[in-house]
Amino acid sequence: MPDRFSPSELQQRNRERVLKTVGVLPSLATLGNLACGVGAIYLCMLSMQAAGRDGEAAAQSARLIFKLPSFLSAAAYLLVLGMIFDALDGRLARLARKTTEFGAQLDSLADIVSFGVAPACLVLALAQPAIFSEMADLTRAERAWWRAEWVMAAMYVCCAALRLARFNVENEEDESSHMVFGGLPSPGAAGAVMGAVILHQELLQDFAHPTVIEVLERLMPPFAAGLGLLMVSRIQYPHMVNALLRGRRPLWQIVATFVMVLIGLVVAFEVTLAVVAAIYALSGPYMAIVRRITGKPVHPIAESTDTGIDLTETFEDDPVAGDDDDEPETNMRIGS
């Protein structure tokens, strides 16, 4: 009785063993995104507890080992890390051939915390009108605005939940269907909030006039409400990664875009993050207005060119013997 497998059988068994081991990575990345969202909410609670002494309390806290200026800044950076986890889980799932409905639902549950509840907490912590001991001193108008602020934050969360539920229902397995999104994706909306908070905490506190800072703080809830409306709208937004990698763009354009963004992040990280996030959030309404005026579709990022290059061809796995019975790869995790 033979006690050894042939080289091809050993290769196939080793490949299956590796895929089973790697199959848990997408769920771990999704749970990492969820943990970042919970951590950001906790830091927002610490910021509210500091009650006007946020920078001082954060500076004196031995736990903030990253030398960030405030609890809110640390919370925003945690959500940036959550966005990285969210971008990785779908790619890891396809590489491991473990794209399942379970992963899609888990991803949406994590997104509603990290890109729904956590950004709303950031907005409320930044725009808090007064500490609780001073609530009695608020005028009638200030009390009304204080109530309106949390209503607008709740509106953002509700819109994020609707956006994620609609995506799960309308999601298609075909990769080409993810070149354009209907409505602002929830990570894009959260990115706009995060960019504004980081810019406010790290730069404006030192360089802007106090009146300007106060006005911007009061405008954060309406800004979040507007982002919520964009999420549930049907305005088209390009999928940045798929548009660049699968849109057969000229290689020099991809390299130039990457280099420009990288230089901006190195030279002025806070400004670049805020500007890029705001540009993406506003690109949908801008292109919708241009389409209405000109009557022509405008999606320059997603356009194809015959002289371009499809970078995804480099990363496609070759078929392996014995894989013919595998289920077709789905795209349940991409974008939300």
Verdict on whether the full-model pTM lies above 0.85: no
- Report the distance separating Cα 147 and Cα 193, nearest Å: 20
Higher pLDDT, residue 319 or 151: 151
- Any domain includes 35: yes
Could you report the per-residue pLDDT of 243-288, keeping only the tens digit for each?
666 556 677 777 887 788 888 888 888 888 888 899 999 988 988 8
Higher pLDDT, residue 58 or 239: 239
Q: What is the CATH number of the domain that holds 89?
A: 1.20.120
When pLDDT is averaged across residues 62-86 and rounded to a whole number, the result is 79
- Any domain includes 317: no
- Report the distance separating Cα 122 and Cα 111, nearest Å: 15
The confidence score (pLDDT) of residue 321 equals: 41
Q: Which range is least confidently modeled, 77-91, 131-145, 268-282?
A: 131-145
Q: Give how many domains the chain has, as a whole number.
A: 1
Question: Does 193 have pLDDT greater than 90?
Answer: yes
Higher pLDDT, residue 214 or 88: 88
DSSP character string of 254-266: HHHHHHHHHHHHH
Higher pLDDT, residue 135 or 276: 276
- Report the distance separating Cα 50 and Cα 44, nearest Å: 10
Residue-number span of the structural domain to which 31 is assigned: 7-132+139-237
Average pLDDT, the chain: 76
- Any domain includes 280: no
Could you report the per-residue pLDDT of 139-182, keeping only the tens digit for each?
788 788 888 998 999 999 999 999 999 988 887 655 555 667 88
- Any domain includes 275: no
Element (H, E) at 238: strand 236-238
Question: Does 232 have pLDDT greater than 90?
Answer: yes
The confidence score (pLDDT) of residue 5 equals: 63
Whether the CA torsion 27, 30, 36, 42 is positive or negative: it is negative
CA distances from residue 239 to 72, 169, 242, 248 in whole angstroms, order as listed: 28, 18, 6, 14
- Any domain includes 302: no
The confidence score (pLDDT) of residue 139 equals: 77
- Any domain includes 271: no
Q: Which of 65-74, 93-102, 207-216, 284-293 has the highest mean pLDDT?
A: 284-293
Question: Does 242 have pLDDT greater than 70?
Answer: no
- Any domain includes 263: no
78 token code pair? 């945690």
Which residues share a beta bridge with 237?
181
Question: Does 22 have pLDDT greater than 80?
Answer: no
The confidence score (pLDDT) of residue 186 equals: 92
Three-state SS string over 20-66 comes to: HHHCCHHHHHHHHHHHHHHHHHHHHHHHHHHCCCHHHHHHHCCCCCC
